[in-house]
């Protein structure tokens, strides 16, 4: 069976999160997105873990079975938490059961001043020490959003080994995956040889349950059942279980894709930024090194080639943004506007979930939704032709992205009518997959 999973989110007990990040809301909204398995986030926080314990547990996953909530969602939860080490690097842990979460809480509590107050605790521990504790608790562990210039592995280290020591080696019982983050994709990460043997995860890191945040990036796994052991086998690629698709932002849309001033957002090449000692020529602000430039510094595999090659186990990477944002782009409306919300809801009513609309529905089925239904009082069209063309453009990679940087998201431009020259389309494909860097 195939399942869609978003394994990195936060609860209402993390700083700067929505108070609506509660379990019932998350289960309902994840189901509407088309996510069968959702990370709990923050599972070491005592109050959040107490709520998780009230769910029904089976095979290391949790659900609302046997309650009224079960009629609204089939979403299951797996225990996850993000922690910050002494170097400010963030790590994602996936845990097999409540007992192991409680065990980790006790192991970490003596090294943290905020583990009882913040769902994402800061630990006075190294990355290697955290990985060792995770291994002892039979948890999976890997770096979060590995390339971003803040709180990320490659912001403070030049290699996995610098952070995790001997546990960085593939098969060493330590690092099991790398979470790419919004500003990177497989074509970025596979230029770094030490990452090529690891599974790449694409998760939302959502701080609110809204459809433009939750599962804005997700993973598709081939498993035999929805359980912790099946998820573990898929991440480790054992017994035929494996990731079959990564879905995430076009890297250039990420807010740290290119090197840029964090105050005025002026972009700089790596050479220019170094020459100016990382100070902006316009306002004197700090130039933040972009993910693209950081990857170029670290790249040691196929560095001279024009195309990024991938290991055989690497699944396809589909560049997408949330459906509401695609509708908004196509109609030139805000993603939160009434007209966008109405069309989003009508598409979910017709197809079931957002993922079906964006990924799985055939073009023929989408075209059928263009049919206009007229009653004595209203005329309703499930899908606008402009939205259909936009969805097709994303599936084909025929989009233009003005890169983000310095903390400001990039801008996606649609040209669904196909009026661009073929060489321009090819150039854009190359940029999105790092073929030109």
Answer yes or no: do 71 and 210 share one domain: yes
183 in any annotated domain: yes
Answer yes or no: do 47 and 148 share one domain: yes
pLDDT at 24: 97
Rounded to the nearest 10 degrees, the angle between the axes of helix 323-331 and helix 385-396 is 120
Answer yes or no: do 38 and 154 share one domain: yes
Domain that holds residue 110: 2-250
State the CATH number of the domain containing residue 76. Answer: 3.20.20.140
**For every one of its 437 residues, what pLDDT tens digit does the chain have, with 9 covering 90 and above?**
999 999 999 999 999 999 999 999 999 999 999 999 999 999 999 999 999 999 999 999 999 976 555 545 589 999 999 999 999 999 999 999 999 999 999 999 999 999 999 999 999 999 999 999 999 999 999 999 999 998 999 999 999 999 999 999 876 678 999 999 999 999 999 999 999 999 999 999 999 999 999 999 999 999 999 999 999 999 999 999 999 999 999 999 999 999 999 999 999 999 999 999 999 999 999 999 999 999 999 999 876 555 789 999 999 999 999 999 999 999 999 999 999 999 999 999 999 999 999 999 999 999 998 865 545 555 456 789 999 999 999 999 899 999 999 999 999 998 744 433 343 344 334 333 322 21
In this structure, what token pair is assigned to residue 238? 């054992």
Answer yes or no: do 245 and 333 share one domain: no
In this structure, what token pair is assigned to residue 382? 């499930």
Question: How many folded domains does the chain comprise?
Answer: 2
Long-range contact set of residues 57-63: C-beta below 8 Å, sequence gap at least 24: 57/97, 57/98, 58/227, 59/225, 59/226, 59/227, 59/228, 59/229, 59/230, 60/96, 60/97, 60/227, 60/228, 60/229, 61/37, 61/226, 61/227, 61/228, 63/27
Answer yes or no: do 58 and 167 share one domain: yes
Answer yes or no: do 332 and 227 share one domain: no
Query: What CA–CA distance (Å, rounded) separates 203 from 88?
Result: 20
425 in any annotated domain: no
Answer yes or no: do 246 and 324 share one domain: no
311 in any annotated domain: no
Rounded to the nearest 10 degrees, the angle between the axes of helix 323-331 and helix 338-351 is 130
User: Domain boundary at 215, 250, 285, which?
Assistant: 250
In a 10 Å sphere around its CB, with 0-12 CB exposed, 13-18 middle and 19+ buried, how is residue 188 labelled? buried
Task: Pick left, alpha or beta for residue 148 (phi over 0 → left; psi -120 to 50 → alpha; otherwise beta).
Answer: beta
188 in any annotated domain: yes
270 in any annotated domain: no
User: Domain boundary at 250, 273, 303, which?
Assistant: 250
CB count in 10 Å sphere of residue 14: 21
279 in any annotated domain: no
pLDDT at 302: 73
Answer yes or no: do 27 and 156 share one domain: yes
């Amino acid at each position: 069976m195939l399942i869609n999973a978003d394994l990195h989110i936060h609860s209402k007990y993390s700083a700067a999160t929505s108070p609506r990040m509660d379990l019932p809301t998350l289960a309902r909204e994840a189901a509407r997105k088309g996510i069968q398995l959702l990370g709990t986030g923050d599972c070491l926080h005592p109050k959040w873990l107490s709520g998780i314990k009230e769910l029904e547990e089976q095979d290391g996953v949790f659900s609302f079975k046997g309650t009224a909530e079960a009629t609204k969602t089939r979403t299951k939860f797996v225990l996850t938490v993000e922690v910050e080490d002494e170097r400010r690097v963030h790590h994602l842990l996936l845990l097999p059961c409540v007992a192991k979460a409680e065990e980790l809480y006790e192991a970490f509590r003596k090294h943290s001043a905020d583990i009882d107050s913040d769902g994402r605790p800061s630990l006075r521990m190294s990355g290697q020490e955290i990985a060792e504790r995770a291994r002892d608790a039979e948890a999976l562990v890997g770096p979060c959003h590995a390339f971003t210039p803040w709180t990320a592995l490659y912001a403070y280290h030049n290699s996995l080994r610098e952070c995790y020591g001997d546990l960085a080696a593939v098969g060493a019982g330590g690092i099991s995956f790398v979470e790419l983050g919004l500003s990177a994709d497989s074509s970025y990460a596979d230029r770094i040889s030490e990452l090529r043997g690891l599974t790449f995860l694409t998760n939302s890191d959502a701080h609110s349950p809204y459809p433009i945040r939750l599962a804005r990036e997700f993973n598709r796994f081939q498993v035999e059942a929805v359980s912790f052991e099946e998820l573990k086998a898929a991440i480790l690629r054992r017994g035929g279980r494996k990731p079959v698709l990564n879905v995430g932002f076009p890297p250039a849309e990420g807010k740290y894709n290119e090197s840029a001033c964090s105050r005025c957002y002026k972009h700089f090449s790596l050479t220019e930024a170094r020459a100016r000692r990382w100070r902006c020529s316009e306002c004197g602000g700090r130039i933040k090194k972009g993910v693209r430039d950081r990857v170029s510094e670290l790249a040691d595999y196929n560095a001279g080639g024009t195309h990024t090659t991938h290991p055989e186990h690497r699944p396809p990477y589909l560049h997408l943004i949330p459906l509401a944002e695609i509708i908004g782009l196509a109609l030139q409306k805000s993603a939160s506007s009434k007209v966008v919300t109405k069309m989003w809801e009508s598409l979910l009513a017709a197809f079931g979930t957002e993922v079906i609309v964006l990924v799985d529905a055939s073009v023929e089925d989408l075209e059928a939704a263009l049919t206009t239904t007229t009653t004595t009082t209203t005329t309703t069209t499930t899908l606008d032709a402009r939205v259909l063309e936009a969805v097709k453009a994303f599936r084909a990679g025929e989009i233009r992205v003005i890169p983000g940087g310095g903390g400001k998201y990039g801008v996606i431009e649609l040209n669904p009518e196909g009026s661009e020259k073929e060489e321009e389309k090819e150039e854009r494909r190359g940029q999105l997959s790092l073929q030109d860097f």
